[in-house]
Structure 1
Amino acid sequence: MTLTALTHLESYLSALDADPAAKISVLRSVITAQRRREGSMPARGLAGIVVEHLRLLRAVGEDAQEPAAQRLAAEGLSEGYGFLAWLAWDMWEIGSAQRYYHAAVRMARQSRHPTLTAYMLGSTAVFTTKSGNSHRAVDLIHQARESLPARTHDTIKAWLYSTSAAAYASAQQPDETWRYLDMAHEATARIRVDDNPPWPWIMRFDGEKLAGYRLIAAVDLHNPTAALSSASLATKAQAHSAQHALNLLAKTDAHAMNRDYDQSATVALTALDAASMKTSQRVIRAA
């Protein structure tokens, strides 16, 4: 979004002064739309846009008098901070990513939205796992599962069980890893093709995404046979170029564990090519 477009948005919002909830809804929908572009657009270009929208959303939330509007603003801020954290991680700005994830969890709790809180805790756990603090990640996963309502959509269950497995794999706990992957498989099997995710920030979950978690968990557990058995499904072309590249790099690791170094190098180059449009520092460093 250009500066001119942002100015137009501010003018439009000023015309909604009588309805803070409408302003919040507009800003949340714009941030969600930017989130949908993340898979193919460089993170640095998106981060500046999101920061400006969060500035507007924060101001609207501070002016809101109704508790319901304040909770809606907190939800939007949590979503936005979670997105900024992901973008900062993609740019390898680790300190910023950590601060944004903490802000996302804080605002989710303030919103009193239990699914949002569980999602942000789970997302923070994924980041913490890959930052090398696996025991803290497991603790965050416990908090996420405790925050989740008893009746929860299978898409959310499949995602959270998969992230749980990732945390346990990083902590070198294979029994818990495979148990949660099995639970994720059962939840994924219950998701119908025509099921829409229950919340805009929960992406559709399917067998290919689950295979990606299995691949990466098996690599973390130093089990190349299990990793390569999931690799074909996990590395099918995806719209999200950076995640596709990271799955390819996990396959690279599995080949290297098998001492198949030529194949490992070939797949690594394919991963860099797949993520070239995003110029993801996270992918480049991993490669």
Structure 2
Amino acid sequence: MAQRRREGSMSACELAGIVVEHLRLLRSVGGESQDPTARREATEGLSEGFGFLAWLSWDMWEIGSAQRYYQAAVRLARESRHRTLVAYMIGSLAVFSASTGNAHRGLLFLEKARNALPNSSRHAVVDAWMSSTAAITHAAAGDEKAAWGHIDDAEEAVTSISSDEQPPWPWVMRFDAAKLAGYRLTTAVNLGYPDLALECVPAATTAQARNHTAQYALTLLDQATAHSMKAEYEQSASVALIALNVAAVKNSHRVVRAAWRTRQAIPAAVTCDAINQLDARLHELDPIDI
């Protein structure tokens, strides 16, 4: 968790090196312990660490590495026998698969995540996260009915979470109405509802900028895409430019790729100062003169 708190101020490349060393130390300490409880807790920590390393690799757009790290996180979660951790890691792998172009694979992982989640330890935070994960996975697959149904389930779960309630496990992040708005925004964009997406923007961006700059930038790029869908191309370019500047400290290849997708949604014949500035910033971050 200490490393996660540094995510907003360090690039994924810098942070990944720190996480790798932390995992080596944790593996060494856990392997030497004769206490079964300590060994189990170390295995849980390794699973969470590999899941975070997968997230960082995704941010660097090292897709093969991210895939391997997620698989390691799932394997270690199973070794720990913490079924909710297993469900969390498989659910994360589902989102990763759907978001990187394999929605069908994401749906298969999603079903495995649901089957892994024990009814005996259900918690509103976990339910909200799992339902939101299901929503964006189904949206990526084009299943509108299922996606909105899961958003409704997530909203119901969020209403039962108190404002000061902490997640039941350290590897489950806090979940609130603002975070749900972000999932709703992504779902709306993926399903082609720009007006609904734009309605979600104020709530979705409430608290992200301070702590999770890459995720905040991705939310802004969803907003920019929604503007493009409405042929509001100047506004789209302006928001995309803000997103790139917000995430500058992160050097996030995932953000840059998302910004290119936003740019591609703007017709080549359309031009204005904001679009020209966006082009210049993209070429600066991802130069073609190599």
Match status 1:247 vs 2:216: no
Percent identity between matched residues is: 59
Higher mean displacement: 148-157 or 255-264 = 148-157
What TM-score, normalized to structure 2? Answer: 0.85
Give the corresponding residue for 2:206: 236
Equivalent positions of 1:20-169 (< 5 A) are: 32-150=1-119, 151-169=121-139
Give the corresponding residue for 2:267: none
Equivalent positions of 1:1-12 (< 5 A) are: none
What TM-score, normalized to structure 1? Answer: 0.86
- 1:237 shift after superposition: 4.8
RMSD (CA atoms) = 1.2
Whole-angstrom CA distance in 1 between matches of 2:236 and 2:5: 31
Match status 1:279 vs 2:251: yes
Whole-angstrom CA distance in 2 between matches of 1:39 and 1:152: 30
Give the corresponding residue for 1:210: 180
Gaps of 5+ in 2: 260-290
Whole-angstrom CA distance in 2 between matches of 1:191 and 1:71: 29
Do the aligned residues in 1 keep the contact of 2:178 with 2:207 (CA within 8 Å)?
Answer: no
Whichever residue aligns with residue 241 of structure 1, its letter is: T
Whole-angstrom CA distance in 2 between matches of 1:237 and 1:264: 22
Whichever residue aligns with residue 249 of structure 2, its letter is: M
Q: Residue 170 of structure 2 is aligned with which of 192, 195, 200?
A: 200
Higher mean displacement: 199-208 or 261-270 = 199-208
Count of residue correspondences = 256
Whole-angstrom CA distance in 2 between matches of 1:39 and 1:86: 13
Whole-angstrom CA distance in 2 between matches of 1:49 and 1:277: 17
Whole-angstrom CA distance in 2 between matches of 1:134 and 1:116: 22
Give the corresponding residue for 1:5: none
Gaps of 5+ in 1: 1-31
- 1:69 shift after superposition: 2.8
1:192 match: secondary structure: coil
